[in-house]
Amino acid sequence: MSQIERIAVVFAAARSGIAAAANSAELEQVRVAVFGKKGSLSTLLRQMGALPKEQRAEIGRSMNTARDELEAAFEARAAALKHAELEASLATGAVDVTLPGRSFTLGSQHLISRLTAEIVEVFRGIGYSVVEGTEIDTAYYNFTALNTPADHPSRSLQDTFFVHDRFGEAGANAAVEKTVALKGESDVVLRTQTSGVQVHVMERQRPPIYILAPGRVYRRDVADPTHLPQFTQIEGLVVDKGITFGDLKGTLEYFCEQVFGADRKTRFRPHFFPFTEPSAEVDVSCGICGGAGCRSCGGTGWLEILGCGMVDPNVYGFVGIDPEVYSGFAFGLGVERIACLKYNVPDLRLLLEGDMRFLRQF
Ligand code: DAH
């Protein structure tokens, strides 16, 4: 084969290679095979030196023209393939704008969390700060230091969840036996009230004390419309110089007005709590019957929302605060109870069940 024939073959092959490339990747392979350093065209150009002198100029010129054509063919094919590929990807990636959108359901705070925050805000507004206790505590903080002696009925196995023995003798049975025998301070309990936070706070902080302690508490109650084995309390404690029962009353009346509105009445009823003296329970007039008496309020026209009183001097004895210098009051309110009163919820269990149809109303 003469050199001229060889040139014709190389160009023809290159041309058909370009035309046959089915996509950009194949075309790229052709580019390397033809125009690359070791490509067929470069090899031809390198062989030019071997041509007889008199042919060189003419063949050189026609080779240049052919190469220009080849390059143009390559560019055109590259552009065409790129366009086709773009079209294809647009077609497969097309979004059907007529499909219905995906909706996101935004969660929200549970009624109890929200109401807890709302109550905390009321007290924050009058200078209280928030303290958090633990849900597991020792019987010392939950009972003893709250002036509740070991033989008090609320310390019995029937009313309190005992976790285990602090000294690790462990096993439910050991705990049961010891509790029945009204064992002392090593008992660990799921707190039955947030009142224990009072003791923790007074142990580490000197008066003036103005604190609020929200949190979960546990009791061995079977769930029914008015009882839950687990519920939320908010404890309040004030210890300062010259605090009187008048301060307690004024504070709690202000709180009730903020949460229930000015048209609900409140009343203080004498009661007993081991850690306050004197003690009282606070009732709010029933929102369903307006105080006339109905099924919700047991016909009395009132619903109990909290316990309170002046801190018993015996409690100060456990934490080393001098009752001759300081006085104070405490209160503990049940958030679920307040939710029921505020929103006329007929059954406390609804608050724990997580039924969205119920929860979405708030
Ligand atoms: N801890 C009491 C309970 O769970 C409520 C209570 C009553 C808290 C009187 C207090 C208080 O701080 O002074 O029933």
Query: Which residue puts its alpha carbon closest to atom 3 of ligand 1?
Result: 193
Query: Which residue puts its alpha carbon closest to atom 7 of ligand 1?
Result: 307
Q: Structural domain boundaries of the chain? A: 3-92, 111-138+190-359
Distance, CA of 89 to CA of 92 (rounded, Å): 5
Find tokens 């063919």 and name the residue: 73
> Among the CATH numbers 3.20.20.70, 3.40.190.10, 3.30.930.10, 3.40.50.300, which is that of 111-138+190-359?
3.30.930.10
How many angstroms does the Cα of residue 171 sit away from the middle of ligand 1?
31
Cβ atoms within 10 A of the Cβ of 268, count? 16
Helix (H, G, I), strand (E, B) or coil at 25: helix
Confidence of residue 165 (pLDDT cuts 50, 70, 90): low
Single-letter amino acid code for the residue at 103: S
Q: Which atom of ligand 1 is nearest to the CA of 309?
A: 13
pLDDT at 177: 44
Judge if the beta carbon of residue 326 lies within 6 A of ligand 1: no
pLDDT at 96: 82
Best residue for ligand 1 mutational test, from 275, 305, 311 (most atoms within 8 Å of Cβ)? 275
pLDDT(4) > 70 = yes
How many angstroms does the Cα of residue 359 sit away from the middle of ligand 1?
28
pLDDT at 180: 38
Read off the pLDDT of residues 283-315 as tens digits, 9 standing for 90 and up: 999 887 888 888 778 889 998 899 999 999 999
Read off the pLDDT of residues 27-39 as tens digits, 9 standing for 90 and up: 889 888 888 888 8
Across residues 113-140, what is the average pLDDT? 95
Judge if the beta carbon of residue 276 lies within 6 A of ligand 1: yes
How many angstroms does the Cα of residue 224 sit away from the middle of ligand 1?
21
Query: Which residue puts its alpha carbon closest to atom 14 of ligand 1?
Result: 307
DSSP notation for 257-272: HHHH-TTS-EEEEEEE
How many angstroms does the Cα of residue 267 sit away from the middle of ligand 1?
16
Cβ atoms within 10 A of the Cβ of 117, count? 12
Average pLDDT, the chain: 87
How many angstroms does the Cα of residue 308 sit away from the middle of ligand 1?
6
Judge if the beta carbon of residue 274 lies within 6 A of ligand 1: no
Read off the pLDDT of residues 70-100 as tens digits, 9 standing for 90 and up: 889 889 888 988 998 898 888 888 888 888 8
pLDDT at 185: 55
Find tokens 């007005």 and name the residue: 257
